Structure 1
Amino acid sequence: MLSKLPRDILLQDILILLDSKSLINLSLASTYFNYLVNNDQHIWKRLCFQEFNISQDNAFRNKGWKQLYIALLTDTKVFTWGENSDDRLGLTPTVTSDAFQLNIRNPRRRYSRTVTTPQEVVYLQDKGIIDITSGGWSFHALDSSGSVWMWGTMQQEISPRSSAGTRRLTTPTKIQATNHTQRKVTFSSISCGRAHVIGLARDGTVWHWSNHLMLQSVHLDLEPNEKIVQVVANWSYSTVLTNEGAIYVIPSPDLIIPSQVTVEPTPTYIVTPKVPMDIVQIAGLDGYTLALTKDSRVLKLDTRNHIEFSSNPELYTIELVHFSAKKPEVNYRDGSMNRFITGAFLNFAVYTKSGQVMLGEVNAGADTEPIVLPELQNRDVCKVSFGDYHFGALTNQGELLTWGAYSSGALGHGPDEEPEPKLVESMKDMFVFAIGFGGWQSSVLAIPTDNEQ
């Protein structure tokens, strides 16, 4: 009988091969199989990756993968809020009472300049959005098919004559790249800097762009068995990580002026050399890259000058000892992670399997002590996302907490600042599973809790 097989063989060699329907049917066969199916996180983590294109780097989930899988069976909703003077939030226009008083037959439509509570981006209903990230003035969202959607402005501070990235999209627009065979490129993960995006395609290729009209391929001189496993956007350039624990630093994409968009081919970049450092995860900051090693050391790499860093990485690397493990830990990208990192612009977070969340700033030195907010400890926080001056935390249970500067309402609490993490009341009836803060704006992906099974 199947139940007589050793548990390790069942979990690692048999159950891992089953689809979700077969797993659910097996869980009904006996109490024993019900326990195995419902409590093995690796099974449901794999299904989230395979069926919904979920990247393992988008959040630190040591549990709750089955809950997330079930949530993704329901159509997700996209919510944005914060600064909207340039219509960056992608919201449907609203008709104000003042407009009706001015001309009831032809009311003037306008967007709110600041949005202080989460509002749904109606255009993205039924699009299967599974991840979202935010730049300085824009949003990029990834759907389960691997397509990327963009809205807002990628390069607000550059003259329209200098870059196609200044074009403003008030409605989410699907963007795409084609490879040398003219096949559409589909993505497994994306990451936003201030005015550019980098993406890892499902075929292992890397692309970056500074406008939605031309995605530029990045050619890396990899070893025969080497492949890219993670890409992150720093503030103005990018860093990629390979399966061998090495990193490459990639300069920002070229600016494309509007007149070139329809006539110039997609440029290709060759970036060398790699820096082998036994790293399993990275996070992009302003001028620096945070790195987590296999043995749970947290490193800060000075990647501002990628040529100097690549030639002598030890000289430009420090260990943040108070963020590193005090006792032996091992992290496996394809298995269990005991420690995890995220970061953007001037801030970063380090998470531990025991439930600790440590916050740090880009200027942290080797002896800098972590910032520890009591509201985030032992609460199953799986991701902290960073705007310029406002911050958000997501828990495995789908709760959303925010704190920091008002930032045109980007906290979601109305007209108030919040120095300490506080639940966003308007999202309390939603299961939030992804979060993307940036600039003075915020975004999340969620489903109504009534739809959970």
Structure 2
Amino acid sequence: MATSKPLTLSDMPIELLIDNLFPVMGTSDIVRLSSTDKYFSMICSDEMLWKRKLESDFNFTGTGTARTSGWKFIYRGLFKPRVFVWGERSNGRLGLSKYSSNHGVPFPTELRIPEARIVNLVAGGMSFHALDSKGRVFVWGTLDGTAPTLQSDGFSEPGKRADTPVRLHLPAPVRSVSCGRLHSSCLDQKNRIWTFTNWGRPFYLSSNLLTDPNLAPLQVECGWGFSSLLTKSGDVFVWWPFSGAMGEAVEAKNNEMDQVGDKKATLTADGVIPCIPWDVNIAPFRLPSIPILPELPSTGKEQKPLPQLIQIAGFDRHIVGLTDNGHVLKFGPLDNIERAGHASWEYLPKFSEISRVKEHPAFVNEDDDSAANRLTPPEAMHITHISANFLHFIAYSTGGSSIVLMGDTDTMPQSEPKIIPALQNRDVILVVLGDYHNAALTATGRLLTWGAYSAGALGLGDPRKLEPGTPGGFETLRDRVRATEHGGGTPPDVSVPTEVRFDHGRKKSKDRFCFSATAAGWHSGALVIDLEPNSDDDDNEIEEAEAQSEALREQTIESHRTWETPPIVPLPGIFRVGYAGRGGFGRGVGE
């Protein structure tokens, strides 16, 4: 009588192992299993396995990036991620408490957050929010730098400043964070949606409308002065924490809690803001459905008969949306609920259809006979990600033939996107936007920046030390000498995306891998992991960089003594006030 052979791990379907067994195994067990033979070495290196392990073990989802590979490498690096910040330092936004000056840091400087493994970094108008592997949120800077505060005030005041990273004490771990100019919103692990107009009294949306299982949250996104929600059904909801019925409710609740002595959210001795949560039972505004959209050829992906939104990105009074088929749409204006009620989604064919992109002047340059200088259009294009901030938005595809397209608040269906040749075909996986500076991250871990100097937000180095004519430096030697000896002067804008180094201040250069980046206002930040074993001088690295930053501060402080802030003017659609800066009414210098 024949006996059946007992089943082994090798006999199990690969899907069963990757989807069901490996996710509940310890990491060390998976590593040991991978060393047994070539078969298990192959399946234990599966990208989706390590992507799931990153989310379950580190609360790292890679949200907002188009990364499709390298998850195992990042998993290893997240045992010791490094946080770097640079740019404008006013309002305490860089968290570098050693310096009281309001002048910028033009190179990445490491910021230590003890006992926290940071997995996501988000810049606000005058602040940073950081999410760690336990779902805890750390903040620094000022949520609303236009609001005056007293030294004795707690974080119930929107203008209360955190000079170093402090932790928010929230009811549940957080999954994702998004920032507007003067507010932020987050989604916790219980699917509750929170909004902060100050760091001490966050409120969550308790409307029964959001209890519908079909409206489960997929993404929470802040625009310039509003917050929005994309649900798994593709519906989009918007609320205005500073105006309308919700703004009135927020103001009334703050006035009520101001009368109670224990509701000030005063920082504790161990650096924690004891948040006082409350709820707003006001239904957010539901945007209309997207229009009927054309089929997109040459996307390299099967088209769904009824496309729906899978991503949104908010900026100044507008939202840009992306469907699962690769359609890019824009909605606005969103100044308030009244104007939103008369608006509709506009399909942007020149950001979605490859035939329209191939007609762009960047690809059709009849005056240039040099093949080396001619930009090659892609054979297929499927826009997979979008991002936005202030006046601009980005739509981009992935892979070696990636396409990066830029639009703005004035973009209409017939508008041509802006195309920067140096960003095309670079395997870009993330693009982030400040007010006047920008950054793109590649799959190889390189961060490229371009745009205005913005108090050093490009991170390309001290312009007084850079060779004249190089990106980030002064145009001529005379300009550099004048700035060095007499102060003043700003380097010209950088038009060609240029790589940022993360080894400033080191005696020896060190290769590092950037896996996430953020930008807003006049500041930037990044999460970085080492590609080389740690050396003995790593502990001195921050002190060396800070010493150089202090030397730069001493050189520039004299030239800023005569600088005056622009006049304060009202910000349209928002109760707060802000500065009138370059490029638009009510936008702030360094915001």
TM over 0.5: yes
Alignment of 1:359-398 (within 5 A): 359-398=406-445
2:494 to 406, 418, 426: 418
3-state SS of the aligned residue for 1:292?
Answer: strand
Aligned mates of 2:530, 2:36 — CA distance in 1: 31
- Structure 2 counterpart of 1:54, which letter? F
Does the 8 Å CA contact 2:215/2:235 hold for their aligned counterparts? Answer: no
Does the 8 Å CA contact 1:133/1:140 hold for their aligned counterparts? Answer: yes
Aligned mates of 1:233, 1:48 — CA distance in 2: 25
Specify whether residues 375 and 36 from structure 1 end up closer, same or farther in structure 2 by C-alpha distance, changes over 3 A only.
Answer: farther
2:347 is aligned with 1:319: yes
2:74 equivalent in structure 1: 68
1:242 to 197, 211, 231: 231
Specify whether residues 316 and 33 from structure 1 end up closer, same or farther in structure 2 by C-alpha distance, changes over 3 A only.
Answer: same
Deviation of 1:176 after TM superposition, in Å, equals: 2.5
**RMSD, aligned α-carbons:** 2.7
1:347 equivalent in structure 2: 392
Deviation of 1:294 after TM superposition, in Å, equals: 2.0
Aligned mates of 2:396, 2:23 — CA distance in 1: 27
Does the 8 Å CA contact 1:164/1:213 hold for their aligned counterparts? Answer: yes
Structure 1 spans left out of the alignment, 5+ residues: 95-109, 178-183, 328-336
Aligned mates of 1:203, 1:219 — CA distance in 2: 13
2:94 equivalent in structure 1: 89
Query: Whose strand proportion is higher, 1 or 2?
Result: 1
- Structure 2 counterpart of 1:342, which letter? S
Instruction: Tell me whether 153-162 or 375-384 shows the greater mean CA deviation.
Output: 153-162
Deviation of 1:311 after TM superposition, in Å, equals: 5.2
Specify whether residues 322 and 29 from structure 1 end up closer, same or farther in structure 2 by C-alpha distance, changes over 3 A only.
Answer: farther
- Structure 2 counterpart of 1:114, which letter? G
1:190 to 177, 182, 188: 177
- Structure 1 counterpart of 2:406, which letter? L
Structure 2 spans left out of the alignment, 5+ residues: 1-7, 243-249, 265-275, 291-307, 356-381, 464-471, 473-492, 504-509, 535-591
Specify whether residues 260 and 250 from structure 1 end up closer, same or farther in structure 2 by C-alpha distance, changes over 3 A only.
Answer: farther
Aligned mates of 2:351, 2:44 — CA distance in 1: 34
2:31 equivalent in structure 1: 24
Deviation of 1:171 after TM superposition, in Å, equals: 1.2
2:189 to 183, 192, 202: 202
3-state SS of the aligned residue for 1:57?
Answer: coil
Deviation of 1:69 after TM superposition, in Å, equals: 1.2
2:282 to 245, 265, 270: 270
1:438 equivalent in structure 2: 520
- Structure 1 counterpart of 2:93, which letter? R
Please give the per-residue CA displacement for 1:137-178, whole angstroms capped at 9, x wherever unaligned: 11111111111111111111234389811111111111123x
2:44 equivalent in structure 1: 37
3-state SS of the aligned residue for 1:412?
Answer: coil
Aligned mates of 1:367, 1:420 — CA distance in 2: 26
- Corresponding residue pairs, total: 417
1:449 equivalent in structure 2: 531
Deviation of 1:136 after TM superposition, in Å, equals: 1.3
1:281 equivalent in structure 2: 311
Does the 8 Å CA contact 2:180/2:222 hold for their aligned counterparts? Answer: yes
2:581 equivalent in structure 1: none
Deviation of 1:130 after TM superposition, in Å, equals: 1.0
1:228 equivalent in structure 2: 217
Does the 8 Å CA contact 1:78/1:446 hold for their aligned counterparts? Answer: yes
Identical columns (%): 33
Deviation of 1:348 after TM superposition, in Å, equals: 1.8
2:358 equivalent in structure 1: none
Q: TM-score, normalised by structure 1?
A: 0.84
Deviation of 1:447 after TM superposition, in Å, equals: 2.3
Does the 8 Å CA contact 1:226/1:243 hold for their aligned counterparts? Answer: yes
Q: Which structure has the larger Rg over C-alpha atoms? A: 2
Instruction: Tell me whether 162-171 or 187-196 shows the greater mean CA deviation.
Output: 162-171
1:171 equivalent in structure 2: 164
Aligned mates of 1:353, 1:135 — CA distance in 2: 26
Please give the per-residue CA displacement for 1:178-206, whole angstroms capped at 9, x wherever unaligned: xxxxxx22210000000000000011000
1:142 equivalent in structure 2: 131
2:328 is aligned with 1:298: yes
2:203 equivalent in structure 1: 216
Instruction: Tell me whether 361-370 or 162-171 shows the greater mean CA deviation.
Output: 162-171
Aligned mates of 1:5, 1:426 — CA distance in 2: 45
Instruction: Tell me whether 163-172 or 286-295 shows the greater mean CA deviation.
Output: 163-172
2:52 is aligned with 1:46: yes
